[in-house]
A and B are shown apart, each in its own frame.
Chain A
Amino acid sequence: MNLAAKLESTLGAECVFQSTTLNVDGCRPVVTVAPKTYEEVAEVLRFADIEGLKVLPFGTGTRLHIGNIPKKIDIALSTARLNQVISYEPADLTAIAEAGVPLVDFFARTSANGQWLPVDPPGKGSTLGGVIATNAFGPLRTFYGTPRDYVIGLKIVAADGTLIKTGGRVVKNVAGYDLNKLFIGSFGTLGVIVETAFKLRPVPESESTCLITSRSIEPLAAVANQVFKSQLLPISTLLTDSRALKVCDVPTGEAKWGLLVRFGDNRKSIDYQVHKLNELVAEPNSIFQILDYSTASRLWQAIADFEDVFASEVTLRINTLPNRSAEMATAAGSHLKKSGMSSASIVHTSSGVVHLYIKSASENDAMTRRVLAMIEQLRAKVGDFGSLIIERAPLAIKQQVDVWGQPRGTAALMRGIKEKFDPKATLIPGRYVAGI
């Protein structure tokens, strides 16, 4: 009996798909399964673990481009059919949902009560489980942080099929180790997240977005840093080059850079903050404007999905200190310009995350070599207190460099954790950090 037939006999034919379009860096699963219950997830994993098969857990597959080239995938296991909101108690500001619930559906459910899980990662179809497994975030990170700050509990099916519960369902809890953290951002390498519990936040009453443009980045970076150190409470602060703004249909005139600052609160507070921000813009060549609501909404959506909007071929993410982020973006930008590559950058000035989006990187070998050389230089520049992750790249690049970079002194601990939780390396071997 072939693999698909075996899985069909366990899960039923409707949960098993032989023809699959899934392709992770040239690696194609033999079969895709979409179990309907936690027990079915456990059965698939137990089966794979015993048979020595390799499993790729995923939600809807919006972030499968992140990671090193997998060694092998036999079964792709989607959580998309685990799609029930289990409980939502508005007065507690908490909700429990299965991992396959799409973020947009979850948002629709909670926004009816003026509440939300305040994360806006790329990928419209992202599932809750996928967002947690990749700790994905978007422009709202400035004020709200990442999924790490909202997960209060998880249920995970471990590689051997054991169901593990971490955390709880209350908003404050220090009982035992905080194992939620271990699974957040683990990219499915330690277990399959099947259930999620979150604390929520009230949706701000109102919103305003300001755009400050300038020919040079320095005055804007200075304003961003002043805002960061001030009592103002923007929900998003992003520094972008004009190319990114143009792609998003925002006219920038002669300006080369734009600083986007978005406030969300009650009207009085927003008006006050917009006024204060305007006062901070001292440099005469900077232009301050308030975007109308529809332009702003379109822009934030386009920025969240910028990788697709720009059709990026190589996406780099640099993690650095907030006050070094603008400098990293300009260093990369001038490098790319010299190499004749089209690029755009978006800088989270308050968290120190820089995203670089590059096109035509894979045109020829010379281009690949230039990108690789740039990555090496940027990694050296980031230094000891940061990292550079290649979030998207063609195979030619992934074959020559570790997309994560090297962990500093913690590789043994990470491998130790993997060894304990997935001793047979059943879960997507080769994709993660430190060869995991």
Chain B
Amino acid sequence: MIQTAKGNSATTSEALNRKLPDSVLNSIRSIVGDANVLESDTEILPYECDGMMTHRYRPSAIVLPTSSDQVAPIVRVLAEHSIPFVARGAGTGLSGGALATNGAVVIEMARLNRILEIDYDNRLAVVETGLVNIRLSQAVNPDGFYYAPDPSSQTSCTIGGNVAESAGGPHCLKYGTTTNHVIGLEVVLPSGEVVRLGGCGADDIGYDLLGVFVGGEGTLGVATKTWLRLLPSPQTVKTMLIDFMSVEETSKAVSEIIATGIVPAALEMMDGATIRAVEASIFATGMPVDAAAVLIVELDGLEAGMDETIEQIKAIAEAHGGRKVYLAEDATERARIWAGRKGAFGALGRVSPDLMIQDAVIPRTKLPEVLSEVYRISERYNLRLSNVFHAGDGNLHPNISFDSRNQDEVRRVTAASKEIMELCVHAGGSITGEHGVGLDKINYMPLIFSDADLEAMHKVRDVFNPNNLANPDKVIPMHRCRAF
């Protein structure tokens, strides 16, 4: 996706000024109250785009339910009039998944942000889907628990958005993505019918509709309530910062850590260009600016035996030319390292007006060769490339800094992005590890899925969302075999 600093330099835009019929507006107002339906241009403007700021679509209205039982009646009104809708959380998504194409109505879930129940005996929490991710961990931390999925945007993104994307984060290397932590959902189907998917105890009977819904990017219905798994906070957390003089050796060290049987809580890589951007910004953490790359390796769990694992990692790092293994001494130092990592995208914003953040996954053993080729591609197109990513699970984020006012540069960015994506797919990878397909990657889907594979996805969508009203035009491309 292309992130523009200015927004007005969007490469595509659509100002579909669809007006909802008064009867529909009145029906919705009677459900949520007049003040919770937004229609004017100025009120709607913030909802025209999400975290992917190059695409803009004007919603026909914004509806802000204030209780979860308002969602089904809203959806029923829209369904009766065949009006498309998009459920939206905090709008931090990076693939355009929350954009209102076709003048869709945005159902803004952010006010449904209550924690309904915390049940430590069963290690679960019941929350409304507009809850901001970090609020749950903050609520249970004092009692020694946390919610594991931690996307970089966790201070603003919502649980509902996380469910839609099956969001990950640095710690999903060890703990899995959102799909591994959701035990049940209350869902409003696009018809307005309310169903519960999954249980809140062990497995439900029948097809795993819960597992299919998570990661459905809002095209299968609107989740209003979710049963989430809580984990006891680990006894010990150790965070290491290791710097290397060669990207290739850094990648090999990553592969070897995994192959050795160590399961770090997180294993992140930042290349030299990223380090220098971070160190020149307010996120500076004291990383060596002359390094080719650094690894952040975090271990968590029981203290007993962890020293041996640290020694193993040190030995691997040294064998690959690691210059220094820095072990954070306390929670403050750990937080400082993570601030540098999570602030990387912000820091890169200082380098140029615009930033293209890519998201692709490759088998971990292919890291050295794929990364070298990614750098070669960017050199060939004369672009400024930086890499900061979840190395432990092979989830790349190649970033290209550019100026969207320079049309020639934009053209080169687009061409290089496509080549990078094809390279990752060719290496046996996937077109997205955590940002989702949304609108941005819909045309890449045929790179990894056949018509028959995509048709299987259409079949599932047709069952949940037969009239294509829930988040239309996303995830699955319309393709040839839909023609008959």
A residues lining the B interface (CB < 8 Å): 89-94, 114-115, 135, 145-146, 148-149, 158, 162-166, 168-182, 184-186, 190, 201-203, 225, 228-233, 265-269, 271-273, 319-324, 348, 351-353, 385-387, 389, 404-405, 407-411, 413-414, 416-417, 420-421, 432-434
Tell me which residues across on chain B come within 8 A of A421, comparing CB atoms.
Answer: 456, 459
Contact A268 B453 (CB under 8 A): no
| Min distance, Cβ B313 to any Cβ of chain A, angstroms | 14
Chain B contacts for A162, CB-based, 8 A:
452
Known A-B contacts A202-B263, A386-B201, A420-B463; A229 and B364 likewise in contact (beta carbons under 8 Å): no
Cβ-defined contact, A91 with B434, below 8 A: no
- Chain B residues with CB below 8 A from A411, complex form: 206
Chain B residues in the interface with A (C-beta under 8 A): 120-123, 144, 165-166, 168, 172, 176-177, 179-180, 194-197, 199-212, 214-216, 232-235, 255-256, 258-259, 261-263, 301-305, 308-309, 361-365, 390, 393-395, 428-437, 441, 445, 448-450, 452-454, 456-457, 459-464, 475-476
- With CB as the reference atom, state the residue of chain A lying closest to B256: A91
B258 touches A91 (CB 8 A): yes
Identify which of B196, B209, B432, B462 contacts A173 (C-beta below 8 A).
Answer: B432
**CA of A89 to CA of B364 in the docked complex: distance in angstroms?**
10
Q: Given A146-B203, A181-B211, A268-B305, 7 other A-B contacts at CB below 8 A?
A: A158-B452, A168-B428, A172-B433, A176-B453, A181-B210, A182-B212, A386-B201
B181 vs chain A, min Cβ distance (A): 11
The answer on a CB contact under 8 Å between B205 and A407 is: yes
Report the bound CA distance from A182 to B120 in whole Å: 30
A184 to B196, CA, bound (A): 19
B460 touches A417 (CB 8 A): yes
Complex-state Cα separation, A351 to B204, whole angstroms: 12
Residues in B neighbouring A273, C-beta threshold 8 A:
302, 304
A203 to B261: give the CA distance in the assembly, Å: 8
| CB-based contact B394/A170 at 8 Å | yes
Closest A residue to B451 by beta carbon equals A162
The answer to whether B457 touches A175, judged by C-beta atoms less than 8 angstroms apart, is no
Contacts of A174 in B (CB 8 A): 165-166, 168, 177, 215, 430, 432-437
12 contacts between A and B (CB under 8 A): A170-B394, A172-B395, A173-B433, A174-B435, A176-B445, A265-B305, A267-B305, A320-B201, A322-B121, A387-B204, A407-B205, A408-B196
| In contact, A320 and B202 (Cβ under 8 angstroms) | yes
Q: Which residue of A lies closest to B459 (CB)?
A: A420
Counting chain A CB atoms within 10 Å of each CB, the highest count among B123, B199, B204, B205 belongs to: B205
Given that A386-B202, A414-B207 are known contacts, is A269 also in contact with B302, CB under 8 Å in the complex? yes
Q: Which residues of B contact A404 (CB under 8 A)?
A: 205-206
Q: Give Cα A195 to B435, complex, Å.
A: 27
Distance between Cα atoms of A184 and B475 in the complex (Å): 22
* B429 CB, min distance to chain A CBs, angstroms: 5
Q: How far is the CA of A185 from the CA of B324 in the complex (A)?
A: 48
Partner of B363, one of A89, A135, A267, A268: A89
On chain A, the residues within 8 Å of B233 by CB distance are 231
A21 to B136, CA, bound (A): 55
B361 touches A173 (CB 8 A): yes
Cα separation A61 to B141 with both chains bound (whole Å): 47
Residue of A91, A163, A272, A405 contacting most chain B CB atoms (<10 Å): A91
Q: Nearest Cβ in chain B — how far from A289, in angstroms?
A: 21
B207 contacts A385, C-beta separation under 8 Å: no
* Inter-chain contact B258/A179, CB cutoff 8 Å: no
Is B165 within 8 A of A148, CB to CB?
A: no
A407 to B208, CA, bound (A): 12
Cβ-closest chain A residue relative to B450: A165
Q: How many A-B residue pairs have CB under 8 A?
A: 258
User: Given A182-B211, A322-B123, are A387 and B205 neighbors across the interface (CB < 8 Å)?
Assistant: yes
Residues of B within 8 Å of A389, CB to CB, are: 205
Cβ–Cβ contact B208 & A182, under 8 A: yes
Contact status A272-B216, CB under 8 Å: no
Task: Give the CA-CA distance A229 to B313 in the complex, in Å.
Answer: 30
Question: A319's contact among B194, B201, B431, B433, by CB below 8 Å, is which?
Answer: B201
With a cutoff of 8 Å between Cβ atoms, the chain A residues found around residue B432 in the complex are 173-175
Q: How far is the CA of A385 from the CA of B195 in the complex (A)?
A: 13
Cross-chain contact A323 with B122 (CB below 8 angstroms): yes
Cα of A31 to Cα of B179 in the assembled complex, Å: 40
Please, which residues of chain A bring their CB within 8 A of the CB of B235?
Answer: 231
Which residues of A have CB within 8 Å of B450? 165
Bound CA span A218–B89, Å: 44
Closest to B463 in A: A416
- In whole angstroms, what is the CA distance A158 to B172 when docked? 32
| Chain B residues, Cβ within 8 Å of A269 | 301-302, 304-305
What distance in Å separates the Cβ of A3 from its nearest Cβ neighbour in chain B?
28
**Complex Cα–Cα for A169 and B364 (A):** 11
Q: How far is the CA of A91 from the CA of B363 in the complex (A)?
A: 9
Contact between chains at A178 and B215 (CB < 8 Å): yes
- Which among B206, B449, B463, B464 is the interface contact of A176 at CB below 8 angstroms? B449
Contact (Cβ within 8 A) A91 B259? yes
Contact at A271–B304, with CB atoms within 8 Å?
yes
| Contact A89 to B365, CB < 8 A, known contacts A272-B304, A434-B206 | yes
Contact A387 B199 (CB under 8 A): yes
The residues of A that contact B394 with a CB separation of less than 8 Å are: 92, 170-172
Which residues from B are CB-within-8-Å of A203?
A: 261
**Residues on A with beta carbons closer than 8 Å to the beta carbon of B123:** 228-229, 322
**Cross-chain contact of B206 among A114, A233, A266, A414 (Cβ < 8 A):** A414
Known: A176-B457, A177-B216. A201 touches B475 (CB 8 A): no
How far, in angstroms, from A261 to B463 measured CA to CA in the complex?
43
> For B456, what are the chain A residues with a Cβ–Cβ distance below 8 Å?
158, 164, 166, 179, 421
User: In whole angstroms, what is the CA distance A414 to B172 when docked?
Assistant: 30
Least CB distance from A55 to B in Å reads 19
Whose C-beta in chain A lies nearest to the C-beta of B464?
A: A413
Specify the chain B residue showing the minimal Cβ separation from A419.
B463
Instruction: Decide: A115 near B258, CB < 8 A? Known: A320-B201, A387-B199.
Output: no
> Once the chains bind, are B305 and A184 in contact (CB under 8 Å)?
no
Q: Within the assembled complex, what's the spacing in Å between the Cα atoms of A179 and B195?
A: 20
